[in-house]
Structure 1
């Protein structure tokens, strides 16, 4: 009688232990299977759109975000900065982005401010020469960048390329083309989505 009780206890123990080990084994199989349904970090970095809230973006202020592993600048230009853009055509290599720079911007970007909304610029912050990241130099008349002729823009410290506040390249510098404008659209007045072409967006 006592032997049967002991055997039943052993049997229950072995049954429970087997169940636990089986459940753990199923978990090890199931976790990678379920995680395979989720997009990897690499897939997200490859092109997933990002949303940027610009509610608090002040005139002259620039914010940097990362999209497709590239820095993207978003900044607000005031009325003076926009007016200055129209005076720079003679200093620029391709002021209307009609030459080699044409492929560096979406087809819906047509004006010399190179933006959907004139006051909000969205530009990939990578120099078109050798891929350095230019510095933001919004101050007017910077002595080291041309004095009175400098109306604000970007300066690449690697090899001296200069760009205006629309990302248009100056003449006589190493960079061959204007900075790239990524695909983007306004979800609302205060929210920009980078990585989505508005001509194909359902928004």
Structure 2
């Protein structure tokens, strides 16, 4: 197994697969991912995958082209298709060692600081993190904040935080390419 690259250093370029849990095209989780895609900072590219298409997409092929899976959820969204997608891969899951982050989108202007959460969104996020963890993914620690889909500066900070997390933790295709081979 390759050694972890040293902490710090330049941030890796990331190719992110964004998946929203809501089927509603106007939902905040989908808006968050579209905004991040449209305003991605340098070094970040975001592709969107509709949750309804998850059953027909060969997971291994999709993940081979991406360094991180970013799942967005919001109040009232139904995570079941994404949960089935994560859990249906079995022991040889292509999600093994793939960084996965789960974030929550708000329906209106919110602060990035922790605060009261709507029960449905938090529960969906916890269930998603657990399902991806059970599939062997490297789950990014819980994001204790709501993101407003229209707050481009906050989403840019989220993108940089994700790039930093991938750089500093030994999992994912980006780090495999950067790590030294073992002797």
TM-score, normalising length: structure 1: 0.28
**Bigger Rg, which one:** 1
TM-score, normalising length: structure 2: 0.30
